[in-house]
Structure 1
Amino acid sequence: MRVGIVTVGDELLSGDTENTNATWLCDRLDARGVEVRRVTTIPDDVADIARTVNEYYAEYDAVIVTGGLGPTHDDRTMEGVAAAFGRDLVEHADAVEWLDGQDGYSAADLADGTAHLPAGARLLENDSGVAPGAVVETVYVFPGVPDEMRTMFERVADEFTGTPRHAVTVEVDEPESALIDRLEELRDRFDVTVGSYPGETVRIKLTAEEAATAEKAAAWLHERVQSPE
């Protein structure tokens, strides 16, 4: 399964808010064997949202959109997703019923549009807030508040499936540039994906479909590099 992620928010682009949602989603999807092909951050602009969602919908098996849901003036995501599919935003009966069932809230109490979803959308209830999410075809729209997004993702996590891959990390006490030849030989010998992450040491992440393959590749590399003391 191949997925594209779209994170929406002017605050992300200005650096006022750290984009932890993208990192969390990539980690959860990778653990489920889902391949994340692209992550894009765009402003609270209907045209940008519609254009990006339309492109990703055509290219990937599923699209996850986070941010820009709720009653405030800059919450434009539902409008943008509706525009991507050429649909209207309509008052969603299930969303109204759900909002009316929340303690201290009703659909009438909230700003116009909170219970409006793209026509034909499936409601995703928000267990941690009052902004509902939605599924339109294979586009999943989640809130931007991290706790709300994570809870809502777990509601539909089983709809994201793939073949989990196995990873082993080898820590190396050598410059990354000195490892090029050995990593090339590693790729030739083993069916693994190699990630190299420099820091105080260099972390080499070896990922394979079979655990035994990843372990054999790691053992081969261990024998040919200098490990930290």
Structure 2
Amino acid sequence: MDAALLTVGNELLSGDTENTNATWLASELSARGVAVKRILVVPDESDVITGFVRSFSDSFDAVIVTGGLGQTPDDVTMESVARGFEQPLEPNELARTDIERTVAEFERHRPNLDIDVDIESEAALPAGARALINEPGLSPGCVIENVYVLPGIPEEMRAMFESIAAEFSGTIRRRTLYTTDPESMLIETLTDARDRFDVSIGCYPDNHAGHNRLQLTGTDDNELDSAVAWLRERVTIDTDRE
């Protein structure tokens, strides 16, 4: 399985908010063997979101969209996704029931605060979509074909992803080595390893920690293990990280 991440929000593009959602999702997907092929940040602009939803849906096995759910003027993600699949927005019964429960719970705990929620609009999802309940929050997500729409608030996004995590799996496997050899001394060895074994090898320096991280990626466990064993005989392993 390969996947693309589409994170929505002007605040991400301006640097006002760190894009922790993309990092967290990429890590979770990679741990499940999924190959994350694209991570893209787009503004709160409907035409832009719709265009990338269409192209990513055609190009990848799964697309995860985060951000821009709700009823404020900049929350245009759900309608943009609906346009991408040429579907109208319509109230979803499961989403409506959960929103009503959430509002009632809020009112019980804060009876002096009058909240105004347009439940019908909040529960509107693309026709034919599967609703994803937002346990810690209000705005629901959804799944339509191979596109998963999740909230942008990290706590809500993570909880919703956990409810669908079992739907993501792949054959990508990883091994990690740490070496104290300088990067300039590793070029020939890593090139040779890449040519000998059916694996991808990345070298990521960490000058503060005083080592280089070698990331080996492939689909065959035996090939990965052979490459690791071969490298162990040729580079200086950082035993503090073993």
TM-score, normalised with respect to structure 2: 0.87
Contact 2:35 2:172 (8 Å CA) reproduced: no
For this pair of structures, how many residues does the alignment match?
Answer: 226
Q: CA deviation at 1:35?
A: 1.1
Q: CA deviation at 1:83?
A: 1.1
Q: 1:59 is matched with which residue?
A: 59
Q: Which amino acid aligns with 1:153?
A: F
One of 141, 155, 160 as aligned partner of 1:133? 141
1:195 aligns with 2:202: yes
Q: 2:33 is matched with which residue?
A: 33
Contact 2:99 2:138 (8 Å CA) reproduced: yes
Q: How does 1:1-229 map to 2 (within 5 A)?
A: 1-102=1-102, 103-104=105-106, 109-111=116-118, 113-165=121-173, 167-200=174-207, 201-228=211-238
Q: Over residues 180-216 of structure 1, what are the superposed CA-to-partner deviations in whole Å (9 max), with x where a residue is unaligned?
A: 2111110122222211101222111122334443233
Structure 1 unaligned segments of length 5 or more: list them: none
Once the two structures are overlaid, the 10-residue window that deviates more, 152-161 or 10-19, is 152-161
The CA distance in 2 between the partners of 1:98 and 1:228, in whole Å, is 51
Q: CA deviation at 1:21?
A: 0.7
The CA distance in 1 between the partners of 2:59 and 2:50, in whole Å, is 14
Q: Over residues 82-103 of structure 1, what are the superposed CA-to-partner deviations in whole Å (9 max), with x where a residue is unaligned?
A: 1111122222222212211221
Structure 2 unaligned segments of length 5 or more: list them: 108-114
Other structure's SS at 2:106 match: coil
Q: Over residues 125-157 of structure 1, what are the superposed CA-to-partner deviations in whole Å (9 max), with x where a residue is unaligned?
A: 001100100111111000001111111011111
The CA distance in 2 between the partners of 1:174 and 1:222, in whole Å, is 12
Q: Which amino acid aligns with 2:194?
A: R
Measured on the aligned residues, the alpha-carbon RMSD in Å equals 1.8
Other structure's SS at 2:186 match: helix
Q: 2:110 is matched with which residue?
A: none
Q: Which amino acid aligns with 2:205?
A: P
Once the two structures are overlaid, the 10-residue window that deviates more, 9-18 or 174-183, is 174-183
The CA distance in 1 between the partners of 2:175 and 2:147, in whole Å, is 32
Taking only the aligned residue pairs, the percentage that are identical comes to 49
